[in-house]
Chain A
Amino acid sequence: MCLSIPSQVVELHPEIQSVTVDTLGVKRTVSCHLMEEPLAVGDYVLIHIGFVMNKIDAASAAESLALYKEIVDKMEAADA
C-alpha cells in the first residue's frame, strides 16, 4: 500500500480541492487537502493513497539525473 508514485498534474479542480494526475498514462483524480501551496498543470507530485503528498522538485530531480549520466559516461569512456 505504501509505494508513493510520481505523477504529473494535468487538470486542476479547485472547487473540490482536487487535481487530475497522469501516472505514466493512467489518469485519476486525487485530493489536494494536504497541500498548502497551490499546484499548477505540469507540476510533478507524489501520490499516496489518493492524496498529493508533496511536489517533486523537478530541478533537483533533473540535477540528479544529470549527475548519473555523467557517472555513466565516465564509466563508458573508461571501458572504451
Chain B
Amino acid sequence: MPELQLKQLYDGFRDPRTVAELASQIKQLAAKLDEPVNVMEVCGGHTHTIMKYGLLQLLPDNIEFIHGPGCPVCIMPKERIDQAAALAQIPDVILVTLGDMIRVPGSEGSLAQFRAKGCDIRPIYMPLDALKIAQENPDKTVVYFAIGFETSTPMTAVLLEQAEKLGIPNLLFHINHVLVPPAIDAVMADPDTRVNAFIGPSHVSVITGSQIYQPTVDNYHTPVVVSGFEPVDVMQSILSIVKQKVEGRCALENQYERAVSYKGNEAAQQKVNHFFTVRPSFRWRGLGPIPNSALMLKPEYRHRDAELKYGERLPVKEIDDHKACQCGDILRGKAKPQDCKVFGRGCTPQTPLGSCMVSSEGACNAYYRYAGVK
C-alpha cells in the first residue's frame, strides 16, 4: 500500500463510482426488506452530505431519511438568543459567538441586527479567539455565547481552563451546550415516530466514543451506525443498516473506525466533566423542554457564568416559533422542509423565519440549496 495522501482522504471517500456501487448493493439488499427503513440522521452535517451529493435519489423508495434535531443553531430557542441580545446591550460587554449563530432570529431580531444597531457582537471561528479578545480588551467584559453538542463542549472547557490558568478575569460564559442522547429519547418518546434506524454523527463520537448510542440500540431496538460525513461514509452506513434489518438484527456499529473508538477522546471528556454539570432541563426549539439534555457550569465556576452575573437583566419568557414555521415538526421527523407553507417563499436563507433555514446545516437550508423550491 503506497503512503496515503491527504487528497485521497477527501477524494477516496467522495468517489462517485464507489457511491454508485454501494447504491447498487443497497438496492439489491433493500428488495428483501419487510418494512421501510426510516433512518434518522441526527446531525445536520449528514443532511448536508445527503442533499449535496444527491444520495436521496440513489436510494430505493423503501429507505427514507428523516432529518433529526442535531444542529446546534437549529435547536436554539428564541429566548436564548434574546438573552444573548440582552447581554450584548449591556454597556462594555462584547458578545462573541460561533459563525451561523449570529443570523438566527430571536424575538426582537438576530444578533446581526443588534450588531447593526451598534452592539459589539463578534462572530468567531474558534473559541480560543474569545481569549484573545478578552486579553485585548481588559476594560470590557467578553461574554462567550457557547453553543454546540458534545463535539464543541470540550473546546469551551479549554477556553475556560485557559482563562483560569492565565488569570483573565473579564471572560464570562453563557452556556448552551446540549446533548445528543436525550434528544434521541425525545424523538423516540413520540408514539407516532417512524424512525427505526439511526446514523450517528462521527465527530460527536470522536469525543464521546460510539458508546453513547448503546442505550439507543438497547432501549429502542434500532440499529445505530456511527458514520463519517463523506458520501461514501454515509452510503456504507446505510448499507450496514439495511444488512442489519434484513438479518433481523439491531446493533451498534462504527463505520468511521479511522477516527472513532468505542471510548472516544477521554482527555476531552475529563475536561468537560471538570467544568460542567447536567442542567435539569433545557428548552429545545421545536422539541420543547427536555430533561437533563444540556450542560451548565459547575458551582465552582459560577464567577464565569454570565447567566448568573447578569441574571436580573436576562429575559426568561419562552417564545415559540412563527406560527407558519414548521421547524418543530421537521426537527421531530414529522415533516419535510417542502411540507412547510413558508419554505422558499416567506422563509429563505436570505430572510429566514426559522432556524432550520438559517444554518448551513439546517434541513431547510440544505433542501433549499440543493433540492430547490417546487
Instruction: Give the B-binding residues of A (Cβ under 8 A).
Output: 1-4, 6-8, 22, 24, 30-31, 33-36, 44, 46, 48-51, 53-58, 60-62, 64-66, 68, 71-72, 75-76
Contact = CB atoms under 8 A, between A and B. Distances in A.
B6 A71 contact: no
B1 interface: yes
Q: Bin the interface of chain B by size.
A: 35 or more
Contact of B203 (A44, A48, A68): A48
B17 A57 contact: no
B253 to A, nearest CB: 14
Sort A-B residue pairs by CB-CB distance and give the 10 closest, nearest first: A50-B126, A4-B203, A60-B258, A65-B12, A61-B258, A36-B267, A68-B18, A33-B158, A34-B268, A8-B6
B265 A53 contact: yes
Name which of B1, B9, B129, B161 has the most chain A CB atoms within 10 A of its CB.
B9
Given A4-B206, A6-B10, A34-B271, 10 more contacts: A1-B73, A2-B201, A33-B162, A34-B265, A48-B151, A49-B155, A50-B128, A62-B4, A71-B18, A72-B15
25 contacts: A1-B98, A1-B101, A1-B147, A1-B152, A2-B148, A2-B151, A3-B229, A4-B202, A6-B6, A24-B10, A34-B154, A34-B268, A34-B271, A35-B267, A36-B267, A48-B152, A50-B125, A50-B126, A51-B128, A53-B207, A57-B259, A62-B1, A64-B257, A68-B12, A76-B17
B64 to A, nearest CB: 23
Contacts of B147: 1
Interface in B121-159: 125-129, 147-149, 151-152, 154-155, 158
A60 B257 CA distance: 7
B155 A50 contact: yes
Contact of A48 (B155, B162, B257): B155
Nearest to A3: B45
Nearest to B101: A1
Q: Would you call the interface of chain B mostly helix, strand, loop, or mixed?
A: helix
Given A4-B229, A34-B155, A71-B18, A49 B203 contact: no
A51 B72 CA distance: 18
A1 to B, nearest CB: 5
Contacts of B45: 2-3
A57 to B, nearest CB: 5
Contacts of A65: 4, 8, 12-13
Majority DSSP secondary structure for residues of A touching B: mixed
Contact of A51 (B6, B126, B149, B359): B126
B24 to A, nearest CB: 7
B61 interface: no
Interface in B4-37: 4, 6-10, 12-13, 15, 17-18, 20-22, 24
A50 B129 contact: yes
B299 interface: no
Nearest to A35: B267
Contacts of B155: 34, 48-51
B9 A6 contact: yes
B71 interface: yes
B304 interface: no
B158 A61 contact: no
Contacts of B98: 1, 49
Contacts of B359: 1
A7 B148 CA distance: 22
Given A1-B100, A8-B6, A48-B203, A53 B268 contact: yes
Nearest to B149: A2
